[in-house]
Amino acid sequence: MQYKITSYSEDETIELAQNIESEKFPNMVICLEGDLGSGKTMFAKAFAAALGITDNITSPTFTIIKEYEGAEMKLFHMDVYRLSDIKQDIGITEYFNKKGVCIIEWADLIEDILPKNRLDIRIKIKDEYTRQFIIKPHGSKYEDLCERVL
């Protein structure tokens, strides 16, 4: 099953991220896909803010992984765009079991090492402000999360 949510503003995108964050759990993995400028980092920023993280969240394009300490759990924010030509695991899978939340931008580039249970979010640009979120849960925890918040 998949869900389609249309966001007509940044505020609605922020609200979606906050709603998903409200159902967070340890070892949660959120895989973001979408073109440049689609809102992947904005979603990550909103999720981080809802976690109580006050640091400036930027896309970790050159560092690949940034760790943030949240009020209840850690956030591991990844941007794997630069790994598109690397066909080996460079330690990313270790983060899936560190009791935090992993948000992975450009996750489709490392699909072969992603956990079976995860939340895939594809963001499509409709116009300057409008985005369509196609959300696909993998596993019962993620299916339950979607039923509760979408």
Mean pLDDT, the chain, as a whole number? 92
Q: Residue 70 is part of which domain span?
A: 3-149
Q: Among 44, 52, 27, which residue's Cα sits nearest to residue 114?
A: 27
Render pLDDT for 58-110 as a digit per residue (tens, 0 to 9). Answer: 877 677 899 999 989 999 999 998 776 554 557 889 999 999 999 999 999 99
Residue 32: pLDDT band (50, 70, 90) is very high
Which CATH number belongs to the domain containing residue 110 in this structure? 3.40.50.300
At 84 the pLDDT is 60
pLDDT at 89: 57
| Closest C-alpha among 134, 140, 113 to residue 16 | 134
| Sequence-separated (6 or more) residues with CB below 8 Å from residue 56 | none
Q: What is the tally of structural domains in the chain?
A: 1
